[in-house]
Structure 1
Amino acid sequence: MPCKYVIGCGDELARAMLAWREVAPALALQMREIDPDAGQAAIAAAIDGIEAIDGASAFVAVDARYLNGLRLDLMASLRLRGLAMPALVEPGALVAAGARIEDNCWIGLGAIIQQGSRIGFNTVVGAGAIVASGVTVGHSSWIDEGVVIGRGARIGAQVTLGLGVIVGHGRQIGKLCIIDKAGRIELDVAAKTFIHATHAHPIVIIGA
């Protein structure tokens, strides 16, 4: 029986275990929990002994902390070991036949990915989110529950879109942006821009 290693922390790890049990009940699941504040030592300990043998695969379940970097580091370490990392598409999600979902993506319950859209590797699309046609989402992004991304939009790598965000048709959100202020985005957003509900104006990180 193939083994699936599920590595992560907190609520995301628990939810991923439940989802994989439902999606692929024949898999032998092994949970590896990490301490997200322990740095590289945590990654090394979490993947110790994991090998790409007998059809083994892996999945990383970590939230958007550290600009989605912790999830990215874990995935990179597992890929170096040669493990397959297929996407998790929860029951009830609707993914068009012409959409592309890359490795270690997590498409939540009831999410909709429309025709011609591409979800980059290691990206989470939360429950009930809508990704319209022709959208590109860069790798290691976090699209929270219920977010709406209009057709033809371009979302950069390691972007976080929080609850209540609506990205207008054709808009571009630069890499490493965090937008957690509910509302409609009708202008392009430059890379490394933080838009928070607690700040009256966007914050742009320069030289990071």
Structure 2
Amino acid sequence: MSCKFVVGTGAMLDWALAAWREVAPGLDLVPLAMDTGADPAEVESLLAGRDLAGATAFVTADARHLNFSRLERMTLYRLRGLPMPPLLCRGAVVAEGTVIGENSWIGAGAVVGQSCKVGFNSVVGAGAVLGHGSSVGNSCWIEDGVVLGRESRLGAHVTLGAGVVVRSGVSVGKLCVIDKPGRIDADVAAKTFIHAHYAQPMVIVGS
């Protein structure tokens, strides 16, 4: 029986384990607790003495720290040679010709249109819709129910909160966080933060 290491903590780990049980009931799932630090020695200790032949891994975490914490941990397991196939939850509709990167997660009921691209280590929440030809960069977080119009573009490490709708053809630059419900009708520059608590967008400069 194939072995899959599922790395995470708390509710996110429970969620990932349940999702993998649904879509791949034959897998031998091995939960691994993820501490706050991304330490190579910790990974070596967790995997010590385990049979890695044919094993795969999946790392889950939320959108804190612009998804870098999830990426750091993914990198450590990938460097150990463990393949990290994406998780396509039961009920997700993914069109043919779509590319889904390693360690990405497509939630239940999400719709991913023709010719879409989802980079590695990205999360597309339950019920989200990606219009045909849209592109999601690496290590993004798309909350449940978000809508990306056709041929829209998200850069790496973008976070989109609940209620966000990105118009067709619009580009959102890397390291953006849009957490204010509403429609995005124009391109958003990299490192822009749009929050419901602030009247105007904020842009990180000099970094």
TM-score (norm 1): 0.95
Alignment of 1:190-201 (within 5 A): 190-201=189-200
Does the 8 Å CA contact 2:38/2:73 hold for their aligned counterparts?
Answer: no
For 2:178, give the aligned amino acid: I
Does the 8 Å CA contact 1:52/1:82 hold for their aligned counterparts?
Answer: no
For 1:28, give the aligned amino acid: D
Deviation of the 1:49 alpha carbon:
3.9
The C-alpha deviation readout for 1:61-87, integer Å capped at 9, x for no partner, is: 101111100010011111110001000
* Structure 2 alignment gaps of length 5 or more: none
- Structure 2: distance between partners of 1:45 and 1:181: 37
Alignment of 1:175-194 (within 5 A): 175-194=174-193
Q: Residue 55 in 1 paired to residue 54 in 2?
A: yes
Does the 8 Å CA contact 2:43/2:76 hold for their aligned counterparts?
Answer: no
The C-alpha deviation readout for 1:147-189, integer Å capped at 9, x for no partner, is: 0000010100000000000000000000000000000000100
Residues 81 and 154 of structure 1: is their aligned pair in 2 closer, same or farther, counting only changes over 3 Å?
A: same
Alignment of 1:150-165 (within 5 A): 150-165=149-164
TM-score (norm 2): 0.95
The C-alpha deviation readout for 1:3-29, integer Å capped at 9, x for no partner, is: 100001222111000000111111111
1:40 is matched with which residue? 38
- Structure 2: distance between partners of 1:46 and 1:82: 13
* Structure 1 alignment gaps of length 5 or more: none
1:3 is matched with which residue? 3
Does the 8 Å CA contact 2:38/2:69 hold for their aligned counterparts?
Answer: no
The C-alpha deviation readout for 1:6-63, integer Å capped at 9, x for no partner, is: 0012221110000001111111111111233xx234x642553436722100001101
